[in-house]
Homo-oligomer: A and B are copies of this chain.
Amino acid sequence: TPENIRNVSKRKLCDTVIQLAQTHKPKPDPNGLVFGTVFTDHMLTIEWSLEEGWQKPHIQPFGNLSIHPGCSALHYAVQLFEGMKAYRGPDNKVRLFRSMINMKRMLKSAHRACLPSFDCAELLECIRKLVEVDQDWVPHSDSASLYIRPTFLGTEPTLGVKKPNKALLFVILSPVGSYFSMGAKPVSLWADSKYIRAWRGGTGDCKMGGNYGASIYAQYEAVDYGCQQVLWLYGDDHQITEVGTMNLFLYWINEKGEEELATPPLDGIILPGVTRQSILELARKWGEFKVSERYLTMADLRQALEENRVREMFGSGTACVVSPVDRILYQGENLHIPCEGSLPPLASRLLKELTDIQYGQTPSDWSCIV
């Protein structure tokens, strides 16, 4: 529980070093912002070494990092990140949303990347302190927010491909506008098996940098084909896995005639998204239709479209909450996905229920005051 997290942390983190910035940047209008382009006045850095373990956390003025040119994060992508947000409610209180899930996923990514373990509650408390220091940067808005980007790097300064003996965990903050500030814009997808995002035995279920850098090329090919994002397929049967950097949901009447909200299962190639998990839990709580983690193939989708069984398809992620899909280019054919009113009913309902929790308008233990 959030109470426990606070208690554990306060005992251990009494020695966080805080050095406040002497100057403060002007705060931008969040509605005009491009995602991740403006950063706040402070950042959190915590160093680790094999000999000395974790050092004191430092909250310090935002600025460049001094990095050895042999650093393993630069040569071998020994690196991972997380993404979460702080939201300011109408009560002027700042809240985090299910942030312990991010901490645990970060720990899992660290294990896979051969980076050291950390105490999730302690790190969350450090991040809470950072957000507190920069709390004026959390937009006064019911749709903008403060994006929180924890990053974890191997800083081993030698060229052997091995577990790093040094590491740096840092957190930066960026105010971001509403994803839907200019109304919902359904996205078009390029579905092709030419590029594969992740594969079994790889790192697709962890938030490691390499997963993202490898995806950019395909994104531009999607644009060349007149689409906005990539629908990532897998296997000879063209399983639908993720969309762009989001998880994917299909709301349909399935092959058995059941009303179903479906998303691919966490079988090693799917990122376990916090929004994904929250959508599944909300919809299961409603109990109004079947909610499934199951395989979906392009053949399943195409047949359902022919038989008018598809109601909605949308991506899910921290940035947008939900992002409706209205078209998929697959094997030279445009598949049109129903997308009533740009933000169709289920996506719209999920967006409202989740943002009401995030901004503190619906009381919930998913939300925790900073």
Residues of A near any B CB (own CB < 8 A): 34-37, 39, 43, 62-70, 72-79, 81, 111-114, 147, 149, 151, 153-154, 158-163, 170, 172, 174, 193-196, 199-203, 208-217, 219-220, 244-245
List 20 extra interface pairs beyond A111-B217, A159-B174, CB under 8 A. A34-B160, A64-B66, A64-B68, A69-B170, A70-B149, A70-B172, A74-B74, A75-B81, A75-B151, A77-B79, A77-B208, A79-B213, A114-B220, A161-B216, A162-B219, A163-B220, A195-B202, A196-B199, A209-B210, A210-B213
Cβ–Cβ contact B209 & A208, under 8 A: no
Q: In the complex, what's the smallest C-beta–C-beta distance from A69 to chain B, in angstroms?
A: 5
**Which chain B positions have C-beta within 8 A of A159?**
35-37, 147, 149, 174
**Which chain B positions have C-beta within 8 A of A210?**
77, 208-211, 213-214
Q: State how many copies of this chain the complex holds.
A: 2
If A36-B160, A69-B172 touch, does A203 touch B208 (CB 8 Å cutoff)? Answer: no
In the assembly, what is the distance between CA of A354 and CA of B216, in Å?
38
**Which chain B positions have C-beta within 8 A of A203?**
214
Cβ–Cβ contact A69 & B81, under 8 A: no
**Which chain B positions have C-beta within 8 A of A244?**
161
**Which chain B positions have C-beta within 8 A of A163?**
216, 220
Residue from A34, A193, A209 with most neighbouring chain B CB atoms (10 Å): A209
Can you name 26 A-B pairs with beta carbons within 8 Å?
A36-B70, A37-B159, A39-B70, A43-B69, A63-B69, A65-B68, A74-B153, A75-B79, A75-B149, A75-B151, A75-B209, A77-B77, A77-B210, A112-B214, A114-B217, A114-B220, A147-B159, A149-B159, A161-B219, A161-B245, A193-B201, A195-B201, A196-B201, A196-B202, A199-B202, A209-B213
